[in-house]
Amino acid sequence: MNYFKQTKKAFGLVEVLLASTIIITVISSFVFVSQGVLTATGRTADRIQAASLAAEGIEMVRQIRDTSWIDQKNTTTWGKWVWSIFSETPNPAKFYDPNFSSGKYFLITTTNGRDITLNGATYRRKLAITKIPFTSGMMSSSTTSKKQQLKDLSYKVTAEVTSVDDSKIIVTISEILTNWRPNF
C-alpha cells in the first residue's frame, strides 16, 4: 500500500508537467498566429496604399491630358502635353513624375521614379508613358486618316509602385489613354 502512494505522488508531478507543456504550447501557438495576422495585415495595408499611389499617378497623367483641352488655348493639343517626348520605341530608363505648380500638373523626367513617404512607409512610384504601336487590326474599317489620328493619339501609361521598406510589395497598373475628344 505504501508503494502505491509513492507512485501516485510521482504521477501527480507528471500530470503537472504535461499540463504545463500543453498550456505553453497553446499559448505559443496563439502568439505565433497573432504575429502572422499582424504581419499580413500590415502587408495588406501596404499593398492597398501602393495600389492607391499607382492609380493616383495614372489619374494625374489623365488630368494633364484633360487640361490640355479645357485650358482654352488653341496651341495646347493632345500629344504636345509632354513636349513631344514620346517615340515609337519605349525608353525603359525614362520615367515621369507629376508635379503641381501654378495651379496645374506637369510632368518632369526622372531616372528612378519618386519616393513618397506615407504613415512611416516609403514607396517609389515610376510612371512610364509609351506610344502604342499601331496594328492593322485597330479600326480596320476606318479610313487611313482616322487610323493615323488614332495612332498619334494613343498612349500607354504604366504606374509601378514598389515599397522601399519591403521589396516584395510591387503593384503595377497599366492603362491606355486615348483622345476621348477625337476630331474624326
- Number of independent structural domains in the chain: 1
**Domain ranges, residue 27:** 2-177
State the Cα–Cα distance between residues 111 and 93, nearest whole angstrom: 6
Q: Read off the pLDDT of residues 9-61 as tens digits, 9 standing for 90 and up.
A: 566 788 889 999 999 999 999 999 999 999 889 888 888 988 888 888 888 87
Q: Read off the pLDDT of residues 59-99 as tens digits, 9 standing for 90 and up.
A: 887 877 776 655 555 555 445 544 444 443 445 556 777 77
Residue 170: pLDDT above 70?
yes
Q: 184 lies in a domain?
A: no
pLDDT of residue 161: 84
* Higher pLDDT among residues 63 and 133, named by residue: 63
Q: 149 lies in a domain?
A: yes
DSSP run (H or E) holding 122 = strand 121-131
Across residues 101-127, what is the average pLDDT?
Answer: 79
State the Cα–Cα distance between residues 130 and 92, nearest whole angstrom: 9
Q: 27 lies in a domain?
A: yes
Q: 182 lies in a domain?
A: no
State the Cα–Cα distance between residues 177 and 154, nearest whole angstrom: 6
Q: 156 lies in a domain?
A: yes
Q: Show the CA angle centred on residue 180, arms to residues 175 and 181, nearest 5°.
A: 160
Residue 151: pLDDT above 80?
no
CB count within 10 Å of CB 160 equals 19
pLDDT of residue 144: 55
Output the pTM of the full model: 0.64
Q: 183 lies in a domain?
A: no
Q: Looking at this protein, which amino acid is placed at residue 181?
A: R
Which residue has 491606355 as its cell numbers? Answer: 176
Q: 101 lies in a domain?
A: yes
